[in-house]
Amino acid sequence: MSKGVLVDMTKCFGCGACTVACKLWNEKKYDEVNKPTLGDKAQLVDINWTVVSKHDVTDTSGQAAWRFAKKQCLHCVDPACASSCLVGALRKTPEGPVVYHPDLCVGCRYCMVACPFNIPKYEWDKSFPKVSKCQMCSSRVAVGEQPACIAVCPNQVMTFGDRDQLVQEAHKRIEGNQQLYVNHVFGETEVGGTAWLYLSDQPFNRLGFKTAVPQESLPAFTWQILSKLPMILVGWTAILSGLYFFNKRRNAIAEGKQDSTGGPQS
Amino acid sequence: MTINGNRITFKMTPFRLVLIAFSLVFVGIVAYRLVNGLQMTNLTDAWPWGLWIFIDVKLGVALAAGGFTTAGIYYVLGVKKVKSVVKPAILTAWLGYCLVGFGLLMDLGRWYGWWHPIFSWGEHSVMFELYMCVLLYTIVLTCEFAPTLFKGIGLVKLSSFFKSLTAPLVIGGIALSTMHQSSLGSMYVLTLGKLNELWWTMLLPILYYSSAVAVGPAMVTCETALAGRFFGHDWDEPAMTFLAKWSGYVMSFYAVLRFSDLAIRGQIGSLLALDTESLMCLLELAIGCVLPLYFFWSYKLRGKVMTQKMIVRNAVLLVLGVALNRGNVVFTGMAKAAGESYFPSAAELFLSIGLVSVGILVYLFIVENFDVFPAHGHCVATGNKQAQPEAAGCARA
């Protein structure tokens, strides 16, 4: 059963414990001056696999308020990055995480172009850079544990579980408190669904979410084309061979002699 | 050491000295890049692909389409009048693909693993298919040009062995080219939601393929015109007229497809919105489609003979149009999704300039020493049975 995470952003107060847990578990460096993990300048970069970004919004009573959004790879159900990789260095595991295998990667960066959420980052300052993104603590998930960031959250913002059940849980929570939540589970249908699901009391685009994404799986579009190629290859070669022999014979007859294949080489 | 019974020549001219200077800078940048990675580029997380992918891969592959199109016209369709351009076209395609391969290698962050795709297949990836086809087609082109090279250095048996493979090589080459020329477009199908709708369409593979089939002969025309000027060849009118008509018809197909696709997807409004994307798209369509097709059909319908000037002008327009189209997909159409701007660094620019310079130098060396162009009477007449049209005296380039 594919795992997922439900993030209830109304509960997050922006302590950033999850970003610390992520750095510790994945042994990533700190650079809070240039690459902050917390606040309004927080950004996913090579050393930040997860960040908590701060957003100034207006709440339902018209008061200025802060909201915090935990960002990381959304681990798509049908990931564009994995389908784009020419060596299969990015793979969706049966448990849910989309995992990167640096030993295979050649560094073409098509995954970065392909990702609808611009999640994969690159170690631009390294001689032999790797692609860098959240692995959803795949080694923990594989043995039934929850990712490190979830385990440390002091306010139970995130719920780890089976994705399908979490989708139901999310809708239950929206129904239970319609005045609070926006009636949308971000990640339920975006690009065909993502393992990470979000609930919010603010429109998602105000919290820095990319909402203008297709609602269907992206690799399916490419596959429509790729799956036809073997047939086209065989058919086209047959047509070309036929044309070749037909025109060779026609030219030979026109010249009124034994055909001379001699091309411009001769 | 002799080639075709003549001493090896390479006449120095100011133009060539400049190219050599660029090539030396290129070698330095390459060495630095291989050791230090991509820090010298202006690429960022927002712009993972930049100038190298655009010039060395996207444009390089499209403009090297002259190889498979002219070979197909000559061998498969049996159009004998284009004979004079086939060998030079295969040479430039071969060199072009070698440059593309090298350019791609420079762009790979972990370049030492360039062979991984051969063993670890990402069969759902357009990039995998592109990689395989470009790799195989470069080998095919090497074999297609091998007869000329082996003949030059006196290995006649090897030369005739490769010559006997010509038919399967040409047919295989066209099949491989069909796959990867279209793949350059299919690659961007995955960027739905990021690439501007003026360019994103499920027809991307067909548009890329048909424009490559049109621009290939146009590029051959430009090269022939340039080489003709430098080396003093005659203008092969029947061949050039045929190529101009070929490009004209194929481009007409492309234009109908492109405009109806825009109309059906309801993009005419954003085409006329006159923002950056719309202006760049209009420029691309004007230069690459409307103008060359206007010239082509107005001559065609009035039954006039196409002059050399008009043929070359149309070819230049087509090449510019395809360059604009590929550039728009890589840069203009992706700019909004990137959210920040990109301009190549000096190192990126000089690596690309240097790569092309090396290509031109190798091209000049090969045409000067091997039988690439058909012999012309007005060049140095020699008693040698083998013509040497590009002997030192003829070369002005």
| pLDDT tens, residue by residue, A15-26 | 999 999 999 999
Q: Look up the pTM and report it.
A: 0.91
On whether both A53 and A184 belong to a single domain, the answer is yes
In chain B, the percentage of residues whose pLDDT exceeds 90 is 79
Closest CA to B369 of B346, B392, B340, B396: B392
Report pLDDT for A257.
Answer: 60
| CA of B105 vs chain A CAs: smallest distance (Å) | 9
Average pLDDT, integer, range B152-167: 91
CB-based contacts of B119, cutoff 8 Å, min separation 6:
none
Calpha distance A133→A111 (Å, rounded): 11
Residue B33, number of CB atoms within 10 A of its CB: 20
Check whether B377 has a pLDDT greater than 50. no
Domain for residue A165, yes or no? Answer: yes
Residue A165 tokens, joined: 């059940």
Calpha distance A76→A86 (Å, rounded): 18
- Between strands A3-8 and A38-39, the pairing is unpaired
Cβ within 8 Å, pair A84-B190: yes
Cβ within 8 Å, pair A45-B128: no
Residue B220, number of CB atoms within 10 A of its CB: 29
On whether both A210 and A120 belong to a single domain, the answer is yes
Burial class from Cβ neighbours inside 10 Å (0-12, 13-18, 19+) for residue A212 reads exposed
Closest CA to A107 of B372, B38, B151: B38
Cβ within 8 Å, pair A240-B129: no
What value does the mean pLDDT of chain B take?
A: 90
The 3-class SS string of B368-380 reads HHCCCCCCCCCCC
On whether both A110 and A165 belong to a single domain, the answer is yes
For residues A131 and A112, is the Cβ–Cβ distance under 8 A? yes
Check whether B382 has a pLDDT greater than 60. no
Q: Which of A105, A128, A225 sits opposite B37 (nearest CB)?
A: A128
Domain for residue A27, yes or no? Answer: yes
Domain for residue A261, yes or no? Answer: no
Calpha distance B284→B287 (Å, rounded): 5
**Closest residue in A to B47 (Cα–Cα):** A113
On whether both A250 and A162 belong to a single domain, the answer is no
Using one digit for the tens of pLDDT, what is the confidence trace for A200-250? 999 999 999 999 999 999 999 999 999 999 999 999 999 999 999 999 999
On whether both A43 and A113 belong to a single domain, the answer is yes
Check whether B40 has a pLDDT greater than 60. yes
Using one digit for the tens of pLDDT, what is the confidence trace for B295-324? 999 887 777 778 888 899 999 999 999 999
Domain for residue A262, yes or no? Answer: no
Domain that holds residue A235: 227-255
What spatial distance separates the first Cα and last Cα of chain A, rounded to whole Å?
A: 65
On whether both A23 and A55 belong to a single domain, the answer is yes
Residue A182 tokens, joined: 């926006």
Is residue A228 within 8 angstroms of chain B, CB to CB?
no
What value does the mean pLDDT of chain A take?
A: 93
In degrees, rounded to 5, the angle at the alpha carbon of residue A38 between the alpha carbons of residues A113 and A159 is 80
CA distances to A120, A124, A132, B370 from A46, rounded to whole Å, are 8, 8, 5, 51
On whether both A181 and A248 belong to a single domain, the answer is no
Calpha distance B296→B290 (Å, rounded): 10
Q: Which of A89, A104, A222 sits opposite B190 (nearest CB)?
A: A222
Report pLDDT for B303.
Answer: 75
On whether both A76 and A199 belong to a single domain, the answer is yes
On whether both A187 and A247 belong to a single domain, the answer is no
On whether both A107 and A39 belong to a single domain, the answer is yes
For residues B367 and B227, is the Cβ–Cβ distance under 8 A? yes
Length reported for chain A: 266
Check whether A29 has a pLDDT greater than 80. yes
Closest CA to B272 of B264, B285, B263, B282: B282
Closest CA to A182 of A201, A169, A198, A210: A201
Cβ within 8 Å, pair A247-B78: yes
Domain for residue A266, yes or no? Answer: no
Domain for residue A263, yes or no? Answer: no
On whether both A53 and A112 belong to a single domain, the answer is yes
Cβ within 8 Å, pair B120-A104: yes
Report pLDDT for A262.
Answer: 52
Residue A264's pLDDT band (boundaries 50, 70, 90)?
Answer: low
Rounded to an integer, what is the distance from CA A221 to the centroid of its chain? 16
Quickly tell me which residue has 């196409």 as its tokens: B306
Report pLDDT for B231.
Answer: 82
- Beta pairing partners, A98: A92
Residue A58 tokens, joined: 């207006």
Using one digit for the tens of pLDDT, what is the confidence trace for B212-223? 999 999 999 999
Check whether A263 has a pLDDT greater than 70. no
In single-letter form, the type of residue at position B206 comes to: I
Strand ranges of the sheet holding A196-199, from the earlier edge strand across to the other edge: A158-162, A3-8, A196-199
Q: Which of B48, B191, B337 sits opposite A122 (nearest CB)?
A: B48
Q: At what angle do helices B308-330 and B204-231 cross, to 10 degrees?
A: 140
Which residues of B are less than 8 Å from A45 in CB distance?
45
CATH number at residue A208: 3.30.70.20
> Number of folded domains in chain A?
2
Cβ within 8 Å, pair A85-B114: no
Domain for residue A114, yes or no? Answer: yes
Domains recognised in chain B with CATH numbers = 2-369 (1.20.1630.10)
Residue A68 tokens, joined: 């915090």
On whether both A210 and A231 belong to a single domain, the answer is no
Domain for residue A265, yes or no? Answer: no
Residue B290, number of CB atoms within 10 A of its CB: 15
Higher pLDDT, A27 or B123: A27
| CA of A34 vs chain B CAs: smallest distance (Å) | 15
Rounded to an integer, what is the distance from CA B278 to the centroid of its chain? 26
